[in-house]
Homo-oligomer: A and B are copies of this chain.
Amino acid sequence: MNQLEAMRIFVRVAEAASFTQAAQALGLPKASASIAIQWLENLTGTRLLHRTTRRVQITQDGQVFYERCKDLVADMEELQELFRLHPSDLQGRLRVDMSVGAASNIVVPRLPEFMAIYPNIDIELSASDHFVDVIGEGFDCVLRAGNITDSSLIARRLGAYRLINCMSSTYAANHGTPQTLDDLKNHTLIHYSLGFGAKPTGFEYVDSLTGEPLHVPVTGSLTVNNSSAYLAACLAGLGIIQGPEPGLRPHIDNGSLIEILPEYQAAPLPVTLLYGNRRHVPKRVQVFMAWLEKTMKPQLES
């Protein structure tokens, strides 16, 4: 049995409090995770995880062991990369998550550049519009828009999306183009919400002169929790949307969408890069985050 590998597995299992999730994040069968922990427990002579078939929780000893494991595993990783001076020498797996929009509009189109520089880094790019558990699911870093609440992570602010208002040309033909915020009352606004339980709150604007926040309640009955469905709804002429410029700009340019009320801007949506609070961040993660920042910057303001 590979002790180091077993320790890596243990760290993951302890963080995710789940064999299944940890195994999935590590890309190996859950049977292996199970055996690895048993082997470690046998090695240390201590029960590290108290587990029923339904719940995994760390024991007191396990907690102590976990802290030291995390450091040692990180030290090992650092040691491996000690002599990797050239980009192409960097290797290993990178697990990243970001919104569907950021992935498909900004990152993926430019990913070939990164992969050309670092051909030996394997990338697992998860694109999802719901929040993910950075630690538990084993992501090296996660790109999020909106306000961050989880303080157990290191958050690096990259900038903010400019939010613009759009309608499709077919919708414009049917309903006309609003010129003032008041006009919006006669239009259908499509709402984007992450949690289905959350009540649609309407569109928010900042008065471009006074800086005062303005609120326009949502009128209309469509709420969507997925950004591509949101865009699709707008393209289908179902109503007006308010979203990050980078994802909408191409459709404006090709004429399928029309930007409206450009003088009424919503407060920009902050974009943040989150990563685990580990003592040592592997070099491959460092270079990816640097590249991601460089790539995102031109699309962001402030």
Contacts and interface: CB of A to CB of B under 8 A. Distances in A.
A111 interface: no
Contacts of A4: 2-4
B65 A69 contact: no
Interface in A14-54: 43-46
A82 B44 contact: yes
A72 B76 contact: yes
A79 B89 CA distance: 31
A79 B72 contact: yes
B83 A61 contact: yes
A301 interface: no
Given A2-B2, A3-B2, A69 B79 contact: yes
A68 B82 contact: yes
Interface string A86-106: 000100000000000000000
A297 interface: no
Which of the four size classes fits the interface of chain A?
20 to 34
A260 to B, nearest CB: 55
A298 B64 CA distance: 41
Contact of A64 (B2, B3, B44, B82): B82
A83 B43 CA distance: 10
A122 interface: no
A44 B83 contact: yes
A37 to B, nearest CB: 15
Contacts of A44: 79-80, 82-84
A75 interface: yes
Contacts of A89: 45
Contacts of A64: 82
Interface in A228-250: none
Contacts of A65: 79, 82-83
Nearest to A91: B45
Nearest to A90: B45
Contacts of A3: 2, 4, 76
Top 3 nearest A-B pairs (CB, nearest first) are A46-B83, A44-B83, A2-B2
Interface of A: 2-4, 43-46, 61, 64-65, 68-69, 72, 75-76, 79-80, 82-84, 89
Given A68-B79, A72-B75, 4 more contacts: A2-B2, A61-B83, A68-B75, A75-B75
19 contacts: A2-B2, A2-B3, A2-B4, A3-B4, A4-B4, A43-B80, A44-B79, A44-B84, A45-B83, A45-B84, A64-B82, A65-B82, A65-B83, A68-B75, A68-B79, A68-B82, A72-B75, A72-B76, A72-B79
